[in-house]
Amino acid sequence: MHLKILIAVATIAVLGSANAQDYPNCRSSCGNMDISFPFGSGKGCYYSSDFLVTCNESSGEPIPFFGKSNIVISNISIIKNELEIMAFVGHDCYNSDGRVKSSRPLFTLGYLREFQVSTKNKFVAIGCDTYAYFSGGRGNESGIGTGCISICGRDNVINNGSCSGVGCCEVAVPERVHSFNLTLSSWNNHSNMLDFNPCSYGFLVEKGKFNFSTTNLANFKSEKMPMLLDWAIGDKTCGEANDNYNFLCKGNSTCDQSYQGPGYRCHCVDGYDGNPYVTDANGCMDVNECDRGYHDCHHDAHCVNIPGNYTCECKDGYSGNGWKNGTGCTADESTVIKMGVGISTSAIFLLIFITWLYLLHKKRKLMTMREKFFKQNGGIMLQQRISGDGGSHDQARVFTIEELKKATNNYDESRIIGKGGYGTVYKGVLSDNIEVAIKKSKLADQTQTQIEQFVNEVVILSQINHRNVVKLIGCCLETEIPLLVYEFIPNGTLSDHIHNVKGKSSAFTWDIRLRIATETAEALSYLHSSASVPIIHRDVKPMNILLDENYVAKVADFGASKLIPIDQIELATIVQGTLGYLDPEYLQTNQLTDKSDVYSFGVVLVELLTGKKALSFDRPEEERNLAIYFLYSLKEGRLFQVLDEHLQLNDVPSEIIQVSRLAERCLRIKADERPSMKEVAIELQGILASMVQNHPWVQNCLNEGDGEYLLKELTKDYECTNGGYVSNVSSSTFDSMSKHSILPIASGR
């Protein structure tokens, strides 16, 4: 069936060379599409009737139509001389009896003098019983045709995207065609294809805007397809039109000599951009290649825009060719020197500035972190407690981290004087030349309750003023783990003097050992009985008993200590301490009492007697645990055999026997059968006093000037009476803390 319908969309009528901008009623757009001369909408706004754009606003959204037709314009390109329209799709459909069901004529184009069908289009036909034909005219020549056939045989495979004659065919459009007709038909009226292809479809479409799909055979839903038309001005060549008064190539434009079709086309000359058919601000204007980056200047040169072009000039202080393909710009000698000085100076200032910023940031970050740790570790709470103490001379001092870093030479390893399970101890010298021991703990308390306990302990321990307890001077809270500051004791630990230290054990006589045991017992007795809040040390051992230059004992390291509520006699805690010194009952029940310190002190007495370590796997199996082995030897009457050989005894003095029996009572398994530390201290005081009275060179209280230095040390805590030396040390003579307020209970440090 042949379908031929001619749509005349324009007539040849030249309305002159009117510029759209000369008429204020000319539209510059219609909907989303720009309208530029030679196209126009409105009287006098277009070059000729072929360029008329009708803007239809009846449906609400403005729609541009080609001339006075129903063909929608989708885009106008002045630069490419192209017009994109939405061309109708024709179809030819049949019923099962072979009769025509519906049809729509194929899109046809009447003669347009200044428009041609672009070769960027293709002619497409879809169907399984379809042939299509294209017939066009070129100038005075007619009958220029082409066509294609589309079938779907039983052995043919229909593929998506393939338009090679099976279900879809396509053919190129002839050049410079002004008008055309499209014919669409069928051999068998699709009678054998009704189950999947009852129709034939045909259309012109811009290349790349259509991709065949097998679903198109059953129902091709598109009613319009985008199609391109080429356009030019009039029917004269550039040379012929240039002499005409209505020649449209305006300022800074030129006629395109390469165009071979009918009419002529205008383009802006190089260096200019815009609409070559107008003379107003939309016409060919100078392109600023420098601003747009469209230049080939060397990086040492700067671009200078000139009308229609640009130049590349070397910067001040440079000379040469500024173009990239030239020799380039070379810096003058003076410029090189200035640049070097400038770059160096800038680099130095930049480095200083960056360093200053880094240090400032680091300092602020450090200050923020210190403030965070200070609050986290209870610093504000501690300050409030100190300020509320009424200005006591024994209050804890809060150190800054800089003070302690300076005191320890930034915690130099040479300042380490001890390491233990609870941390590392450094020797430090404060700004007032006071020597201190600074302890960095390994564990940090984080909960609010633990922070409150830590603050309480610092306050209480700093108030302890017993001559045989190492004084807690203060703390630093600006680190993640708080630092504790104690008085410095110069002569090492008791362990140093009785274990594995050459040249010390032989000079460490029994007299000195007994006095150290007595002083240690007095200190523990004070902590248990006379402190404002009772304190259980929980880690009594020779390592935690320090000695000054006169061998005076100082109990130290309260890292595992516990404060005991006044109305309690025991606490349930996680077992802490050192193997060999741990109370067996505490180990089994987790119930901590002051008798746990008594057991540990009993082990210390045995070490003073034997000179051996509390636990050693280098000894025979039966001797590994010193406490058990000592008790067994005492029971078997072999005390003399286990005493320290450095004591150089020919027999066992009564004082050693008394101390051994006291140690046996301290080491009993059941805590109830052990004496209290107060009882232990009183008994040791009596033994020491008895030994002093029976000493060969103590005769009826010789004048102090006639005694030896050791006599002074041994008798300094005893009064001379008619009956000899009698102890003047009792619980009532300890440095009293009774005036200090009782603080809330907390775990020890």
Shared domain check, 180 and 116: yes
Question: What is the distance between the alpha carbons of residues 134 and 125, in angstroms, rounded to a whole number?
Answer: 11
**Given a cut of 60, is residue 653 above it in pLDDT?**
yes
Shared domain check, 134 and 38: yes
The domain that holds 652 is classified in CATH as 1.10.510.10
Out of 372-376, 431-435, 658-662, pick the least confident.
372-376
Mean pLDDT for 570-577 is 61
Residue 717, in any domain of the structure: no
Residue 496, in any domain of the structure: no
**The two three-digit tokens of residue 521, written as one number:** 């017992």
Mean pLDDT, all residues of the chain: 80
What phi and psi values does residue 169 have, to the nearest 5 degrees?
-135, 155
pLDDT, tens digit, for every residue of 49-81?
889 999 988 878 899 999 888 899 999 999 999
pLDDT at residue 475 in the model: 84
- Domain of residue 440, residue span: 377-488
Shared domain check, 215 and 81: yes
Residue 384, in any domain of the structure: yes
Out of 94-98, 545-549, 654-658, pick the least confident.
94-98
Mean pLDDT for 326-333 is 77
**In which band, very low, low, confident or very high, does the pLDDT at 703 lie, cut at 50, 70 and 90?**
very low
pLDDT at residue 670 in the model: 94
With a pLDDT cut of 70, the percent of the chain lying above it is 79
**Given a cut of 90, is residue 21 above it in pLDDT?**
no
Residue 174, in any domain of the structure: yes
Shared domain check, 269 and 192: no
**In which band, very low, low, confident or very high, does the pLDDT at 613 lie, cut at 50, 70 and 90?**
very high
Mean pLDDT for 742-749 is 28
Local structure of residue 582 (DSSP, 8 states): S
**Given a cut of 60, is residue 646 above it in pLDDT?**
yes
Number of domains in the chain: 4
Residue 3, in any domain of the structure: no
**Given a cut of 70, is residue 734 above it in pLDDT?**
no
Boundary of a domain, candidates 465, 488, 511: 488
Shared domain check, 563 and 446: no
Shared domain check, 192 and 278: no
**Given a cut of 60, is residue 684 above it in pLDDT?**
yes
Return the top range by mean pLDDT from 326-335, 564-573, 625-634: 625-634
Residue 34, in any domain of the structure: yes
CB 246 within 8 A of CB 16: yes
Shared domain check, 511 and 436: no
Q: How far is CA 303 from the centre of its chain?
A: 43
Burial of 235 (0-12, 13-18, 19+ CB in 10 A): middle
pLDDT at residue 30 in the model: 92
Mean pLDDT for 291-319 is 86
Shared domain check, 150 and 250: no
Shared domain check, 464 and 546: no
pLDDT at residue 285 in the model: 92
Task: Determine how many CB atoms are found less than 10 A away from the CB of residue 479.
Answer: 17
Radius of gyration, alpha carbons of the chain: 55
Mark the binding-site residues, compressed into ranges. 440
Question: What is the distance between the alpha carbons of residues 679 and 572, in angstroms, rounded to a whole number?
Answer: 25
**In which band, very low, low, confident or very high, does the pLDDT at 738 lie, cut at 50, 70 and 90?**
very low
Out of 268-277, 433-442, 699-708, pick the least confident.
699-708
Mean pLDDT for 490-496 is 89
DSSP annotation string for 110-158: ---TTEEE-TTEEEEEE-SEEEEEEEEEETTEEEEEEEEEEE--TTPPP
C-alpha angle 483-377-747 in degrees, rounded to nearest 5: 80
Task: Determine how many CB atoms are found less than 10 A away from the CB of residue 1.
Answer: 12
Mean pLDDT for 649-677 is 93
Out of 64-68, 390-394, 704-708, pick the least confident.
704-708
**Given a cut of 50, is residue 114 above it in pLDDT?**
yes
Residue 179, in any domain of the structure: yes
pLDDT, tens digit, for every residue of 366-391?
787 777 777 776 667 776 666 655 54
pLDDT at residue 292 in the model: 86
Shared domain check, 172 and 125: yes
pLDDT, tens digit, for every residue of 524-546?
999 998 877 788 888 899 998 99
pLDDT at residue 11 in the model: 29
Mark the binding-site residues for ATP, compressed into ranges. 440
**Pick from 577, 499, 579, 504: which is nearest to 542 by CA?**
499
Residue 475, in any domain of the structure: yes
**Given a cut of 90, is residue 92 above it in pLDDT?**
no
pLDDT at residue 592 in the model: 85
Mean pLDDT for 597-622 is 93
Shared domain check, 244 and 227: no
pLDDT, tens digit, for every residue of 455-492?
766 776 777 888 999 888 888 887 777 888 889 998 88
Local structure of residue 248 (DSSP, 8 states): -
445 is catalytic: no
More confident residue, 565 or 727: 565
Mean pLDDT for 638-656 is 88
Length of the chain equals 749
Find residue 272's DSSP bridge partners: 286
Boundary of a domain, candidates 462, 488, 514: 488
Residues 230, 445, 539, 557: which is the catalytic one? 539
Mean pLDDT for 101-108 is 75
Boundary of a domain, candidates 199, 231, 263: 231
The position carrying tokens 């479809």 is: 201
Shared domain check, 662 and 584: yes
**In which band, very low, low, confident or very high, does the pLDDT at 265 lie, cut at 50, 70 and 90?**
very high
